[in-house]
Structure formats: structure tokens, C-alpha cells
Amino acid sequence: MTRSPPPPRTDFKVFSSLQTRWADNDVYGHMNNVVHYQLFDTAINQWLMAEGLLDPLAGAIVGLVVETGCRYHAEAMFPDRITAGVSVARLGGSSVTYAIGLFRNDEETAFADGRFVHVYVDRTTRRPVQLPDSWRTKLGTIAQ
């Protein structure tokens, strides 16, 4: 089985700067694998909030994570600076598949990349809702 190479920064549309923390390192001396998913979640939601799409405390719709995946290519550790690249890989009726690349310091190749699938639901009923046109337009600006 041939493994695809890690993606370059040019594969992503928007970027978030994130800092590793001392607590991110595990007993093996590198960033624990669960931290990668926290960085994915932070980068996506940071962009959604900056664009005025997501109000985590009072918005009518919220995104529930229904699927994730991560491929690890190299190690990262505290005190590395992380840049998370985000793009929309698929825009469905009520779901969005995000592609994420994590880049260490000034490196041009991701040390990890993955996907994060949100299904957007009504905050109260937790039933899927169609993405509003305003969301579709903004999400379309970062589509691959």
C-alpha cells in the first residue's frame, strides 16, 4: 500500500497560528496524538467565529463532529509553533468536511493532516438543518 505524501501549505486556504503547550508532550517526548484533534477543532471553530458564522453560546445552529481522521507524518512537541491550514473539502446540505494540515514552525510540509466532519444541527432539537446561504457563501470561499 502506497501512502500519499504530506500536503504542502498551498493545499489550504486559511491559516491559524497556534502554540503548543508544555502539557501537550507525552511520555515519549512528542505531542500526544489527541492534541492533533484539539488543534483541528480549534482552527476550524476559530475561523467560523472570526467569520461571524458560529456563536458557540447563543447561535441557532451548532456543528457536531460526526467523523474525524488524522495521518501523522512527523513529530511535533513543545515549544513548537503550529500553523493550522484549513479548507473545505466537501460542502453538503447540512454537513461540511474540513481538510486540515498542521505545520511545525516555518515548515512547508504538514507534520499531520486530517479531516473533520461537522453536521450542523438546530441547537435545541439537535436535528440536522440546511446550511444557511450566508454560511454556504463563506464556506465556499475556502473550498478546495
- Residue-wise pLDDT for 5-27, tens only, equals 999 999 999 999 999 999 999 99
Distance CA 116, CA 66 (A): 8
Fill in the DSSP letter of residue 143.
Answer: B
Q: Using alpha carbons only, what angle is made at residue 15 by residues 28 and 47, rounded to the nearest 5 degrees?
A: 105
- Model pTM? 0.95
- Residue-wise pLDDT for 80-132, tens only, equals 999 999 999 999 999 999 999 999 999 999 999 999 999 999 999 999 999 99
